[in-house]
Amino acid sequence: MTTSAIHFFEKENLIKVNKEKNGWRYYNVVDVFRLLSYTKYKNMEMPMKAIVKQFSGEDSSYLSTKDRMEEYKKKAEEKSKYYKELADSIEENLKSIRLINELLNKYEFVKSPEILMLYDDECGWISRDRRAQRMVQQCVKAMPIVQLGVIKHRDSNICNFGYMVLEKHIDK
């Protein structure tokens, strides 16, 4: 605990100090308990205003203390979840970085060509919609220019079967 924190508590009359002629300060048991509690609450990231309010007697019932502690516990759990997700995200990036040496001389990294992916919500089943059926028939006729493909949606684990064609072959 810093001396400035102790002086602040003295100035706010939250602790009472007995100063000796030699400059030494003596605290009673209650004040020592308050200083220890302050350190505990500060380590819990409780704001100074809330700590002062509790120590000043404005809001010091055990029920309000319990409620306040539950509130800060919930905030800590939210932070914990955030940092866990952040650590998991960083780990995913690290996995990719660790693969660089392994893949460096095995693959050539180039920009993939642009493709057009055609699919419907039937998950690969041929729709009863006649227009959709004609489109599928045209895609099948155009093979091997048109190829079968699978697309996995970013937001979910849903995949769709469809037909893909390189952009340069779209007019064919």
Residue 110 lies in a domain: no
What's the pLDDT tens digit per position in 89-100? 999 889 888 888
What digits encode the pLDDT tens for the residues 42-72? 888 888 888 888 777 766 678 888 888 899 9
The total number of structural domains in the chain stands at 2
User: Residue 157's domain spans which residues?
Assistant: 115-169
Looking at residue 84, what is its pLDDT?
95
Those residues whose C-beta lies under 8 Å from the C-beta of residue 92, and which sit 6 or more positions away, are: none
What are the b/e assignments for 69-91, b being 16+ CB within 10 Å? eeebeeeeeeeeeeeeeeeeeee
Is the residue at 47 inside a domain? yes
Domain boundary among 42, 60, 78: 60
Q: Is residue 105 part of a domain?
A: no
Q: What is the pTM of this model?
A: 0.47
